[in-house]
């Protein structure tokens, strides 16, 4: 297994080492529909999968980001349950793509672009209509920008990981810069609350609105990659636990040892996720689905 993604609807997608994706729906008593497999026609393993908030579309990214040979599709946006390709992005000679993220029911996407195997920056695009609203300027190297998309896709944020002090820029859906806020953006809690950390080594931070207004401070441990749970919870891949953003307290912890890639970033596999009332994560050679 190479990646997991869940949606608030209870849908979960699991990328397998056989270059297939297992999709299922989890209800109150377990799976409520027969799981099915989507074959993925890629010459490499799947590095990441991401379901839309409503579970109707699936973004997949190839593990092969070195496009020096060109000629194969690295990113797909598919309709579920049919697996029909809605959009795709193919490598060309020297230029490749990775880490496809999707929001707004598939209306807003972001990806990372590489040149000759070296990461160069970020692209954010709308699909309805099709338009590139942001692309990292050509400055001769990777500025370390990490894109963050809220569920509704009406805005986006870019985390400047290579700047000191670290800042996060907020944009409208059309690509207009709204403002920059302090700290390293971690996740949009919803369409109007962006969580940032002042420092990943001493994680205290703030919540900001989509216009950059401070909504209060937070005090949470190092979280790694996260999933939002309800209106106040965050699932941490580092801790395999759910925390309250308001209090900082643990509200749930996994019962089994978790094999999770905990580093925060846009180029790491997510081996744990939340699907409605379940946390789905890798433990040894098994995928666990525990109610939270």
List, for residues 79-132, the tens digit of each pLDDT value. 988 888 898 888 777 677 888 899 977 789 998 887 766 778 889 999 878 899
Give the separation between CA 24 and CA 58, rounded to whole angstroms. Answer: 12
Q: Which CATH number fits the domain that encloses residue 68? A: 2.130.10.10
Who contacts 93 (Cβ-Cβ below 8 Å, separation ≥6)?
A: 67, 68, 69, 70, 71
87 belongs to a structural domain: yes
Hey, is 275 helix, strand or coil?
A: strand
Give the separation between CA 147 and CA 48, rounded to whole angstroms. Answer: 15
Instruction: Name residue 126's beta-bridge partners.
Output: 108, 131
Q: Is the pLDDT of residue 289 over 80?
A: yes
256 belongs to a structural domain: no
18 belongs to a structural domain: yes
24 belongs to a structural domain: yes
pLDDT at 283: 87
51 belongs to a structural domain: yes
123 belongs to a structural domain: yes
Give the separation between CA 268 and CA 227, rounded to whole angstroms. Answer: 14
145 belongs to a structural domain: no
Domain that holds residue 103: 1-134
Give the separation between CA 138 and CA 122, rounded to whole angstroms. Answer: 11
257 belongs to a structural domain: no
Give the separation between CA 155 and CA 78, rounded to whole angstroms. Answer: 22
pLDDT at 194: 96
Q: What is the count of structural domains for the chain?
A: 1
């Amino acid at each position: 297994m190479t990646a997991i993604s869940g949606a608030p609807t209870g849908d979960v997608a699991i990328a397998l080492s056989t270059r297939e994706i297992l999709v299922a729906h989890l209800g109150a008593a377990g799976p409520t529909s027969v799981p099915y497999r989507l074959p993925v026609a890629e010459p490499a393993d799947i590095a990441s999968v991401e379901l839309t908030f409503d579970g109707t579309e699936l973004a997949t990214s190839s593990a092969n980001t070195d496009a020096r040979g060109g000629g194969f599709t690295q990113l797909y946006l598919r309709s579920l349950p049919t697996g029909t390709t809605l959009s795709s992005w193919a490598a060309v000679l020297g230029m490749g793509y990775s880490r496809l993220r999707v929001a707004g029911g598939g209306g807003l996407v972001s990806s990372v672009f590489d040149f000759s195997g070296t990461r160069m920056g970020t692209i954010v695009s709308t699909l309805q209509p099709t338009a590139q609203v942001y692309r990292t300027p050509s400055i001769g190297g990777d500025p370390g920008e990490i894109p963050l998309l809220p569920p509704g896709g009406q805005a986006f944020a870019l985390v400047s990981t290579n700047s000191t002090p670290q800042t996060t820029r907020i944009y409208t859906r059309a690509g207009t810069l709204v403002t920059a806020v302090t700290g390293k953006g971690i996740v949009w809690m919803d369409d109007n609350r962006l969580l940032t950390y002042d420092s990943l080594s001493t994680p205290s931070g703030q919540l900001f609105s989509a216009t950059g207004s401070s909504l209060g401070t937070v005090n949470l441990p190092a979280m790694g990659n996260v999933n939002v749970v309800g209106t106040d919870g965050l699932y941490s891949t580092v801790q395999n636990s759910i925390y309250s953003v308001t209090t900082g307290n643990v509200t749930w912890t996994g019962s089994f040892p978790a094999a999770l890639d905990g580093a925060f970033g846009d180029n790491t596999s997510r081996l744990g996720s939340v699907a409605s009332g379940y946390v789905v994560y890798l433990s040894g050679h098994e995928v666990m689905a525990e109610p939270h």
